[in-house]
Homo-oligomer: A and B are copies of this chain.
Amino acid sequence: MTTSLVPPGTGRTPAAPRAPHALARASSLVVPALDAAVERLDPSLHEPVRHHLAGGGKHVRGGLALVAAAAVGGTEGEAVPGAVAVELVHNYSLLHDDIIDGDRERRHRPTVWARFGEGVAIVAGDALAALAIQVLLDAPTPARMEAARRLADANQAMISGQSADMAFEARARVTVEECLAMERDKTGALLSAACAIGAVLGGADGATAEALGEYGEHLGIAFQAVDDLLGVWGDPSSTGKPVGADLLARKKTLPIAVAFERGDAVADELASIFSRASDQSEVERATLLLERAGVRDAVAAIADEHLRQGLGALDRVELADKPKEELVEVARYVTARDR
């Protein structure tokens, strides 16, 4: 193999983990195919969609689809339509979520609704969602149909996750179980579908596709748990968000659910901070409170446990060595706490 499981340090501390070679290779296949698919959209949507896609991204979902296909003995090329379709669904959800969350910037650039208007962003998102199904059903094979079915199911699960997240805002508390179910739907479902779709297009049997789907689901939950940690303790220079951004926005993410569930003085104090408009000094106090109470470690343990289960799913089935190593590498990369 040409890549190492442990990315080499850059000499600075903390070393930013280097993106696995598999993701760069996948991007070189996915990006041209994604661009070609976007050409099929109404010309009036080319500018807003390209503006959004030009923001970049590592194509983790598309990359997982390609590596999964290779892992089950297929070729990455066979899985390109699946990779494009999951990237399209991911990006449609970003376009709509940015409107819903009122986010005016993404990756330091104006979001589509902020730049082109809400109507354009709604329609552009709808167009990408429809395009995902079109790309898969261009060729009428049973594998493509199975892929489209899994993608529609994952899309519906993402919507459930987004709905739950919105419903959480109106509630005083959420349980860890509810929060994990929301994150499984919102993030795990599409990562799971990406892996399973890649496997199906690569010719996998049912059990192998399920195992890869399970890997993707756990990976998604672990990824989201780490994202929640970074939302409280992340370095603003890496996350692009202010210190304690999620606390300031009073988002009910995993650290908050874990703290509430303790039902002790920490929970009460957090509830009290949550019940009033917080300023930066209160956010700093809440952050310290959460850390001292062991919440940071508890959430990190949840992430580690899902990473472990995800990697365990890969061991249950027969996979080609090198792609399997790449799946492990991608999992470690997207759940790294200094990303």
Contact = CB atoms under 8 A, between A and B. Distances in A.
A122 B134 contact: no
A164 B120 CA distance: 11
Contacts of A266: none
A148 interface: yes
A114 B45 CA distance: 26
Given A96-B122, A123-B166, A167-B44, A134 B160 contact: no
Contact of A130 (B123, B125, B159): B159
Given A100-B122, A152-B134, A166-B119, A127 B159 contact: yes
A181 B166 CA distance: 38
13 contacts: A42-B160, A96-B123, A100-B118, A100-B119, A118-B118, A123-B162, A123-B166, A126-B159, A130-B155, A130-B156, A133-B133, A137-B152, A138-B149
Given A42-B164, A44-B167, A127-B163, 9 more contacts: A42-B163, A45-B159, A99-B122, A118-B118, A120-B166, A130-B155, A133-B148, A133-B149, A133-B152
A242 to B, nearest CB: 23
Contacts of A137: 145, 148-149, 152
A8 interface: no
Main secondary structure of the interface of A (DSSP, over half): helix
A149 B133 CA distance: 7
A259 interface: no
Most buried by B among A123, A145, A159: A159
A142 B134 CA distance: 15
A146 interface: yes
Interface string A140-156: 10101110110011011
Contacts of A133: 133, 148-149, 152
Kindly list the 6 A-B residue pairs having the minimum CB-CB distance in the complex, ordered from nearest.
A42-B160, A100-B119, A133-B152, A137-B149, A130-B155, A44-B163
A312 B41 CA distance: 31
Given A42-B160, A45-B163, A119-B100, A140 B149 contact: yes
A23 interface: no
A167 B46 CA distance: 13
B140 A140 contact: no
B130 A42 contact: no
A66 to B, nearest CB: 23
A312 B144 CA distance: 36
Contacts of A44: 163-164, 166-167
A96 B96 CA distance: 11
Given A122-B96, A134-B149, A163-B45, A156 B140 contact: no
A319 interface: no
A55 B127 CA distance: 26
Contact of A159 (B99, B123, B142, B162): B123
